[in-house]
Chain A
Amino acid sequence: MLRLIGQRLGLGLLTLVAASVLIFAGTEVLPGDLASAILQNTATPESLAELRQELGLNRPAAVRYFDWASHAVVGEFGRSLASHREVVVEIAPRLRNTLFLASYAAIVAVPLAVGLGLMAAIWQGGVYDRAVNFATLLTISVPEYLVGYILIKYFSVRLGWFPSLANVTPDTPLLSRIWLTFLPMLTLVLVVIAHMMRMTRASVLQIMSSPYIEMAFLKGLPKWRVVIRHAFPNAVAPIISVVALDLAYLIVGVVVVEVVFVYPGLGQLMVDAVSKHDVPVVQACGLIFAAAFILLNMAADVLAILSNPRLRHPR
């Protein structure tokens, strides 16, 4: 089993390297290079050549990649072209905000989705099952910015319970942070819940046709116990991988929600950086997103291996 886990970790690392190459190559093919981005309108052929020489842009792409990657490994991404501050200083508070919102949404969404999914499996085909399927399908089908605006309209404009802008600063205390980010969190939850809930329901129901489930019924156990104690532990592997995908989405795909609620997260920073040709920031954000995605999926793979009793308890 350890070998299997080791393989997964190694593969994850390899994927991360491949992603970093892609990110580097992506910024490489953008029109204009770092030198022209810095000099912008003041560029003359001579000053460009001089700056390129100074920045080492004349070296082959492979050499520059290794230079960039070896610095990235130790957390050095250089300076932002727009603000001239260290990229790390620029990114750190934004990353903290993004991770906070993602964890907040995950803590609410995962147990809720799994719980709803289990109940849908227990009352399969009933009114509850259909209602919850319909409702979650609806929330996933509506674009997230619309969900956000609808929530703002009701909860902050009409009822005035929550603020419409998630204006947090580094020194906002935790409780008010939770209150300020309630609506963006709810928007994210509504977007990801259907996926996890339907996967829970489907994988539990698939297990429900196993002979050992029939045996559990023949032992006189009530249905809720059969679903939760006998079916669910055997159904977790596919659920874990869907949860990981959704968690990754919560970190990587929240730009729209950040814009709607004017939340200072990483997604917004990246969008700004792209429009300003701020290449070091774009590269750093890209790498963080890739790392989050790969890390979460790797964790899901490892958990799925651990959830298999045959691997956990060898003969």
Chain B
Amino acid sequence: MNGRRMGEEVLEVAGLRVVARGVGTVLVDDVGFALRRGEVVGLIGESGAGKSTVGLAILGYTRPGCAIEGGRILFQGRDIRAMTPPERRALRGASIAYIAQSAAASFNPAMTLFEQISEIPVRHRLMTPAAAKVEAIRLFSELELPDPERFGDRYPHQVSGGQLQRAMAAMAMAAKPDILVFDEPTTALDVTTQVEVLAAFRNLIREHGTAAVYITHDLAVVAQIADHIMVLRHGRTVEHGTADQILREPREPYTRHLVAERLAPHRYRADIVGGEPPLLELQDVVASYHTLPRVIDGVTLDVRRGDTVAVVGESGSGKSTLARVITGLLPREAGAIRFRGETLPPRLRERSRDQLRRVQMIYQMPDVALNSCQTLYEIIGRPVRFYFGRPRAQVRARVRELLALMDLPADFIDRTPPELSGGQKQRVGIARALAAEPDLIICDEVTSALDQLVGEEILGLLRRLQDELGVAYLFITHDLGTVKRIANKVAVMLKGRLVAAGDTARVFAPPLHPYTELLLASVPEMRRDWLDEALVGRQRTVAAVRNAQIELAQ
């Protein structure tokens, strides 16, 4: 575009090797690929695969404590590794720009968006401040940000997550770079927001003919945007090919596994029949925070023994607040919560020990939900002692039993959480909940901090435990794929209200509530033309959701 030839090679990475100094761990080894103008390479893999490390290395940057030890990174024929620090600085932002996963964390909270966006062209002496401002406004309107003239006067905390992610794209494009590095740029967004942002990124790349490296763990996302896909695992290349080849005819077993997992057909779980009364009944429950009224607004919901009820919705819809209300952490304002027929007091303090024991929780982040100074014996043994008052030897035996149930080795009993992997920590979280021998476990986004394959294992474990113990789950998630696979009932939340609830097969079959339709239509699929189709149907659905919301409010 504008004199730049399409198809000319802008980047060549060969034999890249990055190590963590000190410990000497090899983070990336022998990775190489080439990138032509107008082309998008997708880097895919689980966490720890070295995707981000490769992305940062393209800018000649490594995280503190790491170093590029080998290989070539040629930008338009010049080796970035051989450059002086000022030469490398001149390249960053101006010729190769970076778009980070969390815009909320990557924008400086103390500076306006304009100040941060114009900083690249102005500091690299490519534009005057006035020209940079004009360019920023142009990018804002191109990215369909509201009120482009004044959007940049705001501070990062004053705009929504999706807008901020697009503002980050504007920042990256501010100096018209040759290469964009996208590092999981939509992972932190809600599924409905992701579609818009993804479309905005794709248009940007196409309009400007910029080359891009797109890093993600989601094959369906990369299918929409990449020409080539490179699969990484443990810092090494597993497979590298065109997007069509990787998605349709993956050669390596690992790639096949990834693709198969994503394409796995889902059978809706049959509903459990039986006339027994519900375990948990919510009736017109209302709850508010000090600053936010009616975060939960008239929710009515039943959970029976052996049920898996999924609560889905976007961030801010009140899913996690619902969990806090059921457990009594946030007292309800109105409505009733009954458990095994008896009314639960609103406050945690007013509940009996037995009432507390019967409802347990598993959390999203096992890292912060487990005390890293305690051994697994202390963590899992505490509820055993607290609820059952067993003597020491019996507590130890019970903890061992629970570890075995979680498929964790018995000698883990004296280890502390930092010695375990993410999936193992989540198993400890499950064991702690089960130690109380509860009737109901509330699972709050328990797989979203885990890698796809590890998350699958945890879901499998939860299902097995349900078959063996008959425990019911209230499963809070934003991932509709998970819902379809494990839940026999689903409740769709929008702004504190339930817009649809019932058997999964029924809720997810026509006629759909417009919001359910929007959610379902926003889940990326592996088909390469999915994004185009999704965008076509989207406008009508969004309008329908808005009407439904107005009706609800009345």
Mostly, the A contact residues are: helix
User: Among the listed B92, B109, B154, which residue makes an inter-chain contact with A219, where contact means beta carbons less than 8 Å apart?
Assistant: B92
Please report which residues of chain B, range 44-67, place their CB below 8 angstroms from some CB of chain A when the two chains form the complex. 56, 59, 61, 63-64
Q: Which residues of B contact A315 (CB under 8 A)?
A: 157-158
Which of B63, B64, B123, B124 neighbours the largest number of chain A CB atoms within 10 Å of its CB?
B123
Bound Cα distance from A226 to B206, whole angstroms? 32
Given A211-B105, A218-B61, A220-B123, also A313-B90 (CB < 8 A): no
A212 and B157 within 8 A (CB): no
B105 and A210 within 8 A (CB): yes
Given A211-B106, A221-B119, also A313-B100 (CB < 8 A): no
Q: Which residues of A contact B155 (CB under 8 A)?
A: 309-310, 313
Bound Cα distance from A178 to B102, whole angstroms? 53
Binary interface profile of A, 205-242, with partner B (CB < 8 Å = 1, else 0)? 00001111011111111100100011001100000000
Q: Which residues of A contact B154 (CB under 8 A)?
A: 313
Bound Cα distance from A288 to B49, whole angstroms? 63
Please report which residues of chain A, range 292-315, place their CB below 8 angstroms from some CB of chain B when the two chains form the complex. 309-310, 313, 315
Bound Cα distance from A233 to B112, whole angstroms? 13
A225 and B110 within 8 A (CB): no
B18 nearest CB across to chain A (Å): 16
B379 nearest CB across to chain A (Å): 28
Bound Cα distance from A310 to B108, whole angstroms? 12
Q: Which residues of A contact B157 (CB under 8 A)?
A: 309-310, 313, 315
User: Among the listed A209, A212, A216, A221, which residue makes an inter-chain contact with B109, where contact means beta carbons less than 8 Å apart?
Assistant: A212
B126 nearest CB across to chain A (Å): 11
Total contacting residues, chain A, CB less than 8 A: 22
A297 nearest CB across to chain B (Å): 23
B209 nearest CB across to chain A (Å): 22
Given A234-B109, A313-B158, also A220-B100 (CB < 8 A): no
Q: Determine the residue in chain A with the shortest Cβ distance to B107.
A: A212
B102 and A211 within 8 A (CB): yes
User: Among the listed A211, A217, A218, A234, which residue makes an inter-chain contact with B110, where contact means beta carbons less than 8 Å apart?
Assistant: A234
Q: Determine the residue in chain A with the shortest Cβ distance to B63.
A: A214
Which of A210, A212, A219, A309 neighbours the largest number of chain B CB atoms within 10 Å of its CB?
A219
Bound Cα distance from A220 to B157, whole angstroms? 24
Bound Cα distance from A246 to B155, whole angstroms? 32
A220 and B102 within 8 A (CB): no
The reply on B91 being an interface residue by CB < 8 A is yes
The reply on B138 being an interface residue by CB < 8 A is no
Q: Which residues of B contact A234 (CB under 8 A)?
A: 108-110
User: Among the listed B102, B109, B111, which residue makes an inter-chain contact with A310, where contact means beta carbons less than 8 Å apart?
Assistant: B109
Q: Determine the residue in chain A with the shortest Cβ distance to B108.
A: A212
B73 nearest CB across to chain A (Å): 15
B89 and A220 within 8 A (CB): yes
Q: Which residues of B contact A210 (CB under 8 A)?
A: 105
A216 and B108 within 8 A (CB): yes
A-B contact pairs, 27 of them (CB 8 A): A210-B105, A211-B100, A211-B106, A212-B107, A214-B106, A215-B100, A215-B106, A215-B108, A217-B61, A217-B92, A218-B93, A218-B97, A218-B98, A219-B93, A219-B120, A220-B89, A220-B90, A220-B93, A220-B123, A220-B124, A221-B89, A230-B111, A233-B108, A233-B110, A309-B110, A313-B154, A313-B155
Apart from A211-B102, A309-B155: 4 A-B pairs, beta carbons within 8 A: A218-B56, A218-B97, A221-B93, A233-B111
B-side interface residues toward A, CB under 8 Å? 56, 59, 61, 63-64, 89-94, 97-98, 100, 102, 105-111, 119-120, 123-124, 154-155, 157-158, 171
